[in-house]
Amino acid sequence: MVDWELVRSSAWPLLQGLVLGTVPLTAASFAFGLAIAVVVALMRLSPVRLVSGVARVYVSAIRGTPLLVQLFIVFYALPSLGVTIDPWPSAILALSLNVGGYASEVVRSAILSVPRGQWEAAATVGMGYGTTLRRVVLPQASRLAVPPLSNTLISLVKDTSLVSVVTVTELFRVAQQIAAPTYEFLALYSMAAVYYWVVCALLAAVQDRLEVRLNRYVTA
């Protein structure tokens, strides 16, 4: 039988784990990961084969290995090389690198979807590569990248549950800590699942609103 008093008393600690752990972890990792993604995407588009090759290997390594393994490498394996990173920075580093690997392909495809004529038109008015990219290409590419990047963000919210293995306290770790001595695994893990679901539903709603706003002045 479910201990409903325990469930009610656990609602606040779980919310704290969400607000103080999961949300900032997600925000920081997505911000750094998106920055990595833009750099890697531009490297993939580089005409220099060495530069594009390095980026290709990075994307392949990230997409070809589990996030859990990447977390273990950053937190548990790097100290053997003399590189010791605290739990929170380790989690953010691993998650950011993971997001960067996946999101880079989204950014690259969005940039490639911008008509070549946009580059040529910018060149005719004297814009350099950097200015064209910043003022012409990336604003148009961002509209196309919103849906897949939003999916990446939603996946990241759920992936943060894995950082409990590197002793980072977030929503799922709080649920584990409360459930371990009480054996109320079903109730507490279900509560954690509901919290994740609510956050992901809110992000999906924001995504829909953002897509409508970005497409408002786009002609068919």
Chain segment 194-213, per-residue pLDDT in tens: 999 999 999 999 998 888 88
Rounded distance between C-alpha atoms, residue 142 and residue 134, angstroms:
11
Across the range 39-68, mean pLDDT stands at 95
Across the range 141-148, mean pLDDT stands at 86
> Which of left, alpha, beta for 30 (phi over 0: left; psi -120 to 50: alpha)?
alpha
Rounded distance between C-alpha atoms, residue 31 and residue 103, angstroms:
11
The answer to whether the beta carbons of residues 83 and 117 sit under 8 Å apart is no
Give me the CATH topology for the region 4-214: MetI-like fold (1.10.3720)
Listed by start position, the domains of the chain span: 4-214
For residue 55, pLDDT over 90 is answered with yes
What does pLDDT average to over the chain?
90
For residue 218, pLDDT over 70 is answered with no
